């Protein structure tokens, strides 16, 4: 029937309109060669990889990027990097407690209400599991002041806020052209000091491109220097800390952090779909039976 | 409601209640014993699907409102709080946000079905108009709701739409300030949008009751467009089946299939129908590269942007606003624009073709809304390089090149005061032009094609009755020996 075809076309159209947003002047982000473990209807996170990713975040990214929506307790919740089935309440998890205590947060003197000590230094206390991740800067203005006017975005939901999600993060982190490549392929691209070219970063290169304007390269300029160097992080599990490995691990960690309940979502989804499917089949046969004597 | 009530109270309580508030009788007559044409196909199940959508949105919305904070400094975080810390908050929110898309998917199919089978024709004009009112309220509700998470698209979408109101002459600015609650979008806007977003669904529910009431007075239409024979109870029985169990089970099956699709989006692709930018907290100082509404509003966004020229005293911006509201307003008068005496396009070979084009135009306008109007749908030729300069006589010149080296050499040969610049010269078919063509077709379909077709088209023979049509199984014309079809379906 014609109307059926139209409906199919309409559904396809919705999909295409959705994907049309992704088009633009950036290189299409790609994941690692063997894909992401958390993708697909049964995808899960590898806990060891989440722990490595957290380590990369903490030792590299956290120098400039906050994650205000996460608390230390989140690290120990079901599906999290430090979840331990012996501690269903993550606030009891000794690893999580230990991690939290390594950070300090502002506090007040409980008797006087003072925020500063006698030397006018802000009073601090060790963080506890319910505290939000400590931010590297007091506020946005302070962050801009030390980053040449650029504001390092909060990473709490970064994987949902960029087209491509984890693949975008992976591509961006591994996609900075090497010095040799810059000289060879991008010689006609003048990069402002303090800025770095990345083909995956959204922007416009035409103003800095002295070659054929029809072939101005993809991407744009950002204030973040290539953050990962070979062997920068000392992994506890002995994994070799290549740039690609660290980028993968931190992309996975950020994908988890952006939606910590996604594994639960997919598991519930599977049982819901099976339930609905069985019910649909049963109701279909009821329909056939009820209508069996009606010409229609 | 159509025909005498067949409800017989059985228990003492039912008898007692029936003489005081015959609500069980009302429900029985409306949803159990209601005579329904026996030839309704699956396109007719979307009414029930939409009722489910409305209930799902209201129930999930009420729960979300328990945890949401309408404040520019806390909205974004409160939505993430729902996603992270509220028990099954992620489920409730994803159902609500994808539910809006599902609701619109269903309502568009429901409306296209109405247009195809002539469901708006007499005696169902009021039923159709109430439907358009519901659709209008849905669009308002969806727009208001999209602002609440206070992401980048929320803020900048709200700013585009409220600035449209400002384009209305004389009162525009006042109305805009009243809507925003302040000279600019901020806390006051967010609070009133939240309040209205909570209010409108209950108004929709009210109009839905009127919509069902208006449906149950003449009874359902059907794919043949031939009316149920009401004059004779025997013939009526041959044409119809009781709503329950026949349509409760058929609608129930359709609802479940729909829920499977719904569940797929909620559990496996909860963000594909949204926009990544809305996970960035609103920042009035940073405008996203492309501001686009949700997919279900894209066709109207395209029509809004199609008017790029002043029409007499009407500025282009106001013209766009008029076109956009006109695109919905025209739906109100469809019953009087369609002059055909035949309801169903099953028997209108010409109208069917134009209808298919209309659906294609609607979907095409969606694509137009998603794309930048100045981008090209396709190229006429490869991009060239254009060098513009000022020659010795002070005239400006422009020369085209295929090769970069030649263009560069030409540019370098120019004297310094020529101020030559090189740019890419593209030539192709702009999305804007496609938008304009499709917009013209959208309006022409209602204002020209529907009125004219009814006068010039020769409809195919129709079955004499629903009973005949199901015996001949739809595709065949009236079986031999059957009574002739009536002159007008909508008499």
Residues in chain A, pLDDT under 50? 1-2, 6, 13-24
Position B473 confidence tier, pLDDT thresholds 50, 70, 90: low
Position B488 confidence tier, pLDDT thresholds 50, 70, 90: confident
Q: Backbone dihedral region of A164: left (phi > 0), alpha (psi from -120 to 50 degrees) or beta?
A: left
Round to whole Å and give the CA distance between B191 and B383. 49
Closest CA to B131 of B143, B116, B145, B115: B115
Closest Cα in chain B, distance from residue A117 (Å): 30
* Number of Cβ atoms within 10 Å of the Cβ of B489: 22
Closest CA to A233 of A17, A60, A43: A60
Q: Which of B241, B252, B383 sits opposite A294 (nearest CB)?
A: B241
Alpha carbon A34 to chain centroid, angstroms:
18
Per residue in A168-211, pLDDT tens? 999 999 999 999 999 999 999 999 999 999 999 998 898 899 99
pLDDT value, residue B62: 98
Task: Decide: helix, strand or coil at residue A295.
Answer: coil
Q: How far apart are the first and last CA of chain A?
A: 17
Task: Determine what percent of chain B is predicted with pLDDT higher than 90.
Answer: 83
Closest Cα in chain B, distance from residue A280 (Å): 6
Round to whole Å and give the CA distance between B336 and A129. 67
Strand pairing report for A104-106 and A124-126: antiparallel
Round to whole Å and give the CA distance between A72 and A49. 18
* Number of Cβ atoms within 10 Å of the Cβ of B461: 11
Position B271 confidence tier, pLDDT thresholds 50, 70, 90: very high
Per residue in A142-168, pLDDT tens? 999 999 899 999 999 999 999 999 999
pLDDT value, residue A16: 46
pLDDT value, residue B412: 86
| Alpha helices for chain A (secondary structure H) | 2-20, 47-59, 94-101, 140-146, 158-161, 166-174, 179-185, 243-258, 262-290
Task: Decide: helix, strand or coil at residue B138.
Answer: helix
Which residues neighbour B113 within 8 Å (Cβ) at sequence distance 6 or greater? A3, B43, B44, B46, B119
Query: CA-nearest residue of chain A to B471?
Result: A295
Select the residue from B98, B276, B402, B465 to test the A interface by mutation, using most A Cβ atoms within 10 A: B276
Closest CA to B148 of B73, B63, B76: B76
Using a CB-CB distance cutoff of 8 angstroms, which residues of chain B are in contact with residue A256?
none
The larger pLDDT score, comparing residue B479 to residue B330, is at B330
Query: CA-nearest residue of chain A to B249?
Result: A287
**Pseudo-torsion of CA B381, A185, A229, A105, nearest 10°?**
-50
Which residues neighbour B70 within 8 Å (Cβ) at sequence distance 6 or greater? B148, B187, B190, B191, B193, B194
- The answer to whether A196 touches A222, Cβ cutoff 8 Å, is yes
* Stretch B27-31: mean pLDDT: 93
Residue B90 and residue A157: Cβ atoms within 8 Å? Answer: no
Q: Which of B105, B257, B383 sits opposite A214 (nearest CB)?
A: B383
Q: Is the pLDDT of residue B491 over 80?
A: no
pLDDT value, residue A21: 36
Q: What is the mean pLDDT of chain B?
A: 93
Task: Determine what percent of chain B is predicted with pLDDT higher than 70.
Answer: 96
The interface pTM score, or ipTM, of the predicted complex is 0.90
Round to whole Å and give the CA distance between B55 and B63. 13
Position B480 confidence tier, pLDDT thresholds 50, 70, 90: very low
Q: Is the pLDDT of residue B225 over 90?
A: yes
Backbone phi, then psi, for B307, in 5-degree steps?
-85, 105
Buried b (16+ CB within 10 A) or exposed e, B259-296: beebbbbbbbebbebbbbbbbbbbeeeeebebbbbbbb
């Amino acid at each position: 029937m014609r109307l059926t075809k139209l409906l199919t076309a309409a559904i396809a159209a919705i999909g295409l309109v959705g994907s049309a947003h992704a088009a633009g002047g950036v290189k299409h982000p790609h994941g690692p060669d063997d894909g992401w473990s958390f993708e697909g209807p049964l995808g899960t996170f590898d806990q060891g990889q989440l722990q490595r990713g957290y380590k990369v975040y903490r030792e590299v990214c956290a120098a400039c990027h906050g994650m205000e929506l996460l608390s230390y307790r989140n690290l120990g919740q079901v599906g999290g990097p430090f979840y331990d089935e012996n501690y269903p309440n993550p606030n009891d998890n000794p690893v999580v407690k230990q991690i939290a205590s390594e950070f300090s947060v502002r506090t007040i003197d409980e008797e006087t209400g003072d925020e500063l000590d006698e030397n006018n230094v802000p009073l601090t206390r060790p963080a506890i599991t319910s505290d939000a991740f400590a931010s590297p800067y007091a506020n946005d203005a302070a962050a801009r002041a030390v980053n040449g006017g650029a504001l390092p975005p909060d990473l709490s939901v970064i994987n949902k806020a960029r087209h491509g999600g984890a693949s975008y993060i992976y591509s961006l982190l591994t996609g900075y052209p090497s010095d040799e490549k810059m000289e060879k392929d991008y010689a006609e691209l003048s990069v402002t000091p303090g800025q770095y070219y990345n083909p995956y970063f959204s922007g416009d290169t035409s103003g800095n491109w002295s070659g054929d304007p029809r072939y101005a390269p993809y991407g744009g300029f950002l204030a973040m220097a290539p953050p990962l160097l070979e062997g920068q992080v000392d992994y506890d599990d002995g994994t070799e800390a290549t740039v690609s490995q660290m980028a993968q691990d931190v992309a996975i960690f950020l994908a988890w952090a952006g939606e910590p309940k996604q594994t639960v979502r997919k598991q519930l989804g599977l049982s819901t779909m099976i339930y609905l499917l069985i019910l649909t089949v049963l109701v279909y046969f009821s329909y056939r039976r009820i209508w069996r004597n009606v010409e229609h | 409601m159509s025909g005498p009530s067949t409800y017989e109270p059985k228990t003492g309580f039912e008898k007692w209640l029936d003489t005081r508030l015959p609500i069980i009788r009302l429900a029985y007559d409306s949803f159990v014993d209601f005579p329904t044409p026996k030839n309704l196909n699956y396109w007719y199940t979307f009414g029930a699907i939409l009722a489910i959508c409305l209930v799902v949105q209201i129930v999930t919305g009420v729960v979300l409102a328990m945890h949401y904070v309408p404040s520019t400094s806390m909205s974004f975080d409160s939505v993430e709080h729902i996603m992270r810390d509220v028990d099954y908050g992620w489920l409730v929110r994803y159902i609500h946000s994808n539910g809006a898309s599902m609701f619109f998917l269903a309502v568009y199919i429901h409306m296209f079905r109405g247009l195809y089978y002539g469901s708006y024709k007499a005696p169902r004009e009021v039923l159709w108009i109430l439907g358009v009112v519901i659709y209008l309220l849905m669009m308002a509700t969806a727009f208001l709701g999209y602002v609440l998470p206070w992401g980048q698209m929320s803020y900048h979408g709200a700013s585009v739409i409220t600035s449209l109101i400002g384009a209305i002459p004389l009162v525009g600015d006042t109305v805009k300030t009243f809507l925003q609650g302040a000279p600019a979008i901020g806390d006051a806007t967010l609070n009133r949008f939240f309040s209205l977003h909570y209010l409108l669904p209950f108004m929709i529910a009210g109009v839905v009751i009127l919509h069902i009431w208006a449906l149950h007075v003449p009874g359902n239409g059907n794919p043949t467009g031939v009316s149920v024979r009401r004059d004779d109870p025997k013939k009526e029985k041959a044409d119809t089946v009781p709503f329950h169990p026949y349509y409760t089970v058929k609608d129930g099956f359709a609802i479940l299939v729909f829920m499977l699709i719904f569940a797929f989006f909620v559990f496996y692709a909860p963000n594909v129908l949204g926009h990544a930018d809305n996970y960035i907290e609103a920042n009035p100082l940073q405008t996203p590269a492309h501001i686009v509404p949700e997919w279900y509003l894209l066709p109207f966004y395209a029509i809004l942007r199609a008017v790029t020229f002043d029409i007499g005293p009407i500025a282009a911006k106001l013209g766009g606003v008029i076109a956009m509201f006109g695109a919905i307003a025209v739906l109100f008068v469809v019953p009087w624009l369609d002059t055909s005496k035949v309801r169903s396009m099953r028997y209108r070979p010409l109208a069917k073709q134009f209808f298919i084009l209309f659906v294609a135009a609607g979907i095409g306008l969606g694509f137009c809304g998603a794309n930048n109007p100045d981008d090209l749908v396709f190229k006429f030729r490869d991009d060239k390089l254009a060098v513009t300069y000022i020659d010795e006589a002070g005239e400006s010149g422009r020369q085209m090149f295929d090769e970069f080296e030649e263009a560069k050499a030409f540019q370098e040969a120019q004297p310094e005061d020529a101020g030559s610049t090189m740019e890419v010269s593209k030539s192709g078919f702009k999305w804007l032009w496609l938008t304009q063509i499709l917009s013209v077709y959208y309006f022409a379909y209602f204002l020209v094609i529907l009125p004219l077709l009814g006068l010039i088209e020769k409809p195919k023979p129709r079955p004499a009755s629903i009973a005949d049509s199901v015996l001949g199984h739809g595709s065949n014309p009236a079986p031999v020996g059957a009574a002739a079809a009536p002159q007008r379906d909508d008499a």
